[in-house]
């Protein structure tokens, strides 16, 4: 796995936790990585106001991405209300055409969060739209419904994304089966640890879940199964015929 990687999460922090160690590793190996959050995740704090937490989340996501050497974008959809419709998919498809990733990483399709499930659907739909011939004088349904977004997509050439992977997330575990393990070097791990500490929720300051402990332990567990000191697990979509434990 090399080249450009695009990680698409529902909320700021989702991909930072689940794909972050892998992104840190790939950046250290010379790849370019972009994290996109479809909503800021502004309703995730039990005490802060929504506008104040939104501002904090955007600052935290920016700091995380800078610390691992990734680009960061956040779309302004509403936390808890992300629709899985073609307008959002067109926005994402435009980002795919701009960034030209070889690999997309996103949520698994089943989750306790509807925003996460919708993100998995949107990422797959956007991958399809990014590769589809779309002309500005075309009158396909999305062009009629969302002319500005479709026009923006039509400005850039088509791009096909070779690899599509779902990251392992404790909130998205229903039916998740790892089919690929990516080894995480010590350097990438420690870069991720110091980067993720920029985020209050990951430090357990919102609802108290020990995110950093959980994902650190998970990397050790997955590393045991894959014969590496640490590893992150993914489900490749479509599932490859050969599912033997493998490195990049
Ligand atoms: Zn989330």
CB atoms within 10 A of CB 200: 17
Q: What is the pLDDT of residues 118-154, one digit of tens each?
A: 999 999 999 999 999 887 777 777 777 888 999 999 9
* Centroid of ligand 1 to alpha carbon of 168 (angstroms): 12
Question: Phi and psi (nearest 5°) for 9?
Answer: -120, 160
Whether the CB-CB separation of 239 and 179 falls below 8 Å is answered with yes
Structural domains for the chain: 4-236 (3.40.50.10320)
CA dist list (Å): 88 to 115, 150, 161, 206, 233? 12, 11, 18, 28, 27
Ligand 1: centre distance to CA 228 (Å): 28
Q: Enumerate residues with CB within 5 Å of ligand 1 (an ion).
A: 10-11, 14
10 Cα to the center of ligand 1, angstroms:
5
What pTM was estimated for this model as a whole? 0.94
Distance between Cα 247 and ligand 1 center (Å): 27
36 vs 103: CA distance, rounded Å: 13
Listed in sequence order, the residues at least 6 apart from 31 whose beta carbon sits closer than 8 Å to its beta carbon are 1, 2, 3, 4, 5
Would you write out the chain's pLDDT as a tens digit for each of its 248 residues?
A: 558 999 999 999 999 999 999 999 999 999 999 999 999 999 999 999 999 999 999 999 999 999 999 999 999 999 999 999 999 999 999 999 999 999 999 999 999 999 999 999 999 999 999 999 887 777 777 777 888 999 999 999 999 999 999 999 999 999 999 999 999 999 999 999 999 999 999 999 998 899 999 999 999 999 999 999 999 999 998 754 434 334 44
- Residues belonging to the chain: 248
Instruction: Dump pLDDT digits (tens) for 4-37.
Output: 999 999 999 999 999 999 999 999 999 999 999 9
- Centre of ligand 1 to C-alpha 172, Å, is 9
């Amino acid at each position: 796995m090399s080249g450009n990687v695009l990680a698409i999460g529902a909320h700021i922090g989702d991909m930072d936790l689940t794909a972050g160690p892998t992104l840190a590793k790939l950046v250290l190996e010379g790849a370019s990585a972009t994290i996109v959050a479809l909503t800021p995740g502004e309703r995730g704090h039990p005490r802060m106001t929504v506008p104040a937490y939104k501002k904090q989340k955007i600052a935290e996501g920016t700091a995380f991405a800078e610390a691992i050497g990734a680009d960061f974008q956040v779309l302004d959809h509403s936390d808890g209300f992300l629709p899985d419709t073609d307008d959002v998919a067109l926005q994402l498809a435009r980002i795919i055409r701009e960034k030209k990733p070889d690999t997309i990483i996103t949520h698994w399709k089943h989750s306790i969060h509807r925003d996460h499930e919708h993100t998995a659907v949107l990422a797959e739909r956007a991958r399809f739209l990014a590769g589809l011939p779309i002309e500005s004088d075309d009158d396909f349904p999305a062009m009629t419904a969302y002319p500005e977004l479709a026009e923006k997509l039509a400005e850039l050439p088509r791009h096909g994304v070779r690899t599509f992977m779902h990251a392992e997330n404790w909130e998205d575990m229903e039916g998740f089966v790892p089919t690929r393990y990516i080894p995480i070097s010590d350097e990438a791990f420690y870069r991720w640890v110091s980067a993720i500490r920029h985020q209050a929720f990951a430090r357990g300051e919102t609802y108290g879940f020990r995110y950093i402990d959980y994902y650190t332990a998970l990397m050790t567990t997955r590393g045991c199964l894959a014969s590496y000191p640490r590893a992150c697990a993914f489900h490749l979509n479509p599932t490859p015929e050969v599912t033997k434990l493998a490195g990049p």
